[in-house]
Amino acid sequence: MILTHESLQLEDYLIESEEVDYTDPAIQILANTLFLEAKTEVDFVQKAFEFVRDRISHSWDIQSSRITRTASETLHFREGICYAKSGLLCAILRSKGIPTGFCYQRLTLGDTPDTGYCLHALNAVYLKSLDKWIRLDARGNKVGVQAEFAIDEEKLAFPIREHYDEVDYAGIYIQPNKKTIDTLKQHTDCIQMILHGLPTSL
C-alpha cells in the first residue's frame, strides 16, 4: 500500500504532546535503556516495538477496566488499548529522534460485521538508515493475532477483509486522531468503552 503523509517535514513527527509525553522521566529511562542495548537504529526500533507489544498488556486481553491515555500512564500501569499503546511506542521512538506517526484501520469489533466496527490504531516509523517508512502494530499478540517487526513485508495484527467493509487507511498522522483521544477522555470503564464506545471510522 502507498502511504500518504500529513506532513512532508520529518521534524513534525518528532513533536511532544500531552499524549506523547516523552520527556516523562520513566519514558526517558526506558528509551535510554533500550537505545543502549541496541546495535543499530533498526535494532532499537525493533526492541521498542517488542517492548510495547509484549510488556504492555492490552486492556481487553486482561479484562481491565482501567483506561490509560498518555504514554506515561500507559507505561506506569503497563496496560492500555491500541490507542494508548501506539502512543507509548511513538513516545519512546520520538524521544530518540526517530520520526513516528499514527495510522488507522477500520475493523469489525468482533469476527463479523454484525458485531459492529471500531477504529484501530498502529504506528508508522521512519528508518533513516533505510530511507523508508514501515508500519508496526504493537497491539499485543494472542491466539489469532501475530504482529511482528518487519522491514520488507508488513506483518500487522489484523489483515483487512474488504468484503466485510474493513478499511486500511493510508495516512500517517502527526498526532493521535481526536476521536480516539476524546473516547479515552470521556469513558471511565475500559471494558464498556471497548464494547460500546469506540469510534468506527476516521
Strand partners, 162: none
CA distance 177 to 39: 33
Q: Grid coordinates 468482533 are at which residue? A: 110
Position 65 scores a pLDDT of 98
Position 136 scores a pLDDT of 98
Q: Topology of 4-196 in CATH?
A: C8orf32 fold (3.10.620)
Position 34 scores a pLDDT of 98
Helix axes 41-55, 25-37, angle to 10 degrees: 130
Residues of the chain with pLDDT under 70: none
Average pLDDT value over all residues in the chain: 97
CA distance 99 to 116: 33
Do the bridges between strand 132-136 and strand 117-127 make them parallel or antiparallel, or are there none, so unpaired?
antiparallel
Position 157 scores a pLDDT of 97
Nine-digit cell string for 127: 528508518
pTM metric for this prediction: 0.97
Position 100 scores a pLDDT of 98
Strand extents, DSSP E, the chain = 4-5, 57-58, 79-80, 100-108, 117-127, 132-136, 167-168, 171-172
Exposed, middle or buried: residue 57 (CB in 10 Å: 0-12, 13-18, 19+)?
middle
Asked if 92 and 125 count as a contact pair (C-beta separation under 8 A), the reply is no
CA distance 43 to 127: 11
Strand partners, 102: 123, 173
CA distance 91 to 98: 10
CA distance 47 to 53: 10
Nine-digit cell string for 89: 511506542
Position 169 scores a pLDDT of 98
Domain positions in the chain: 4-196
Q: Which of 163, 146, 164, 162 is nearest to 154 (CA)?
A: 146
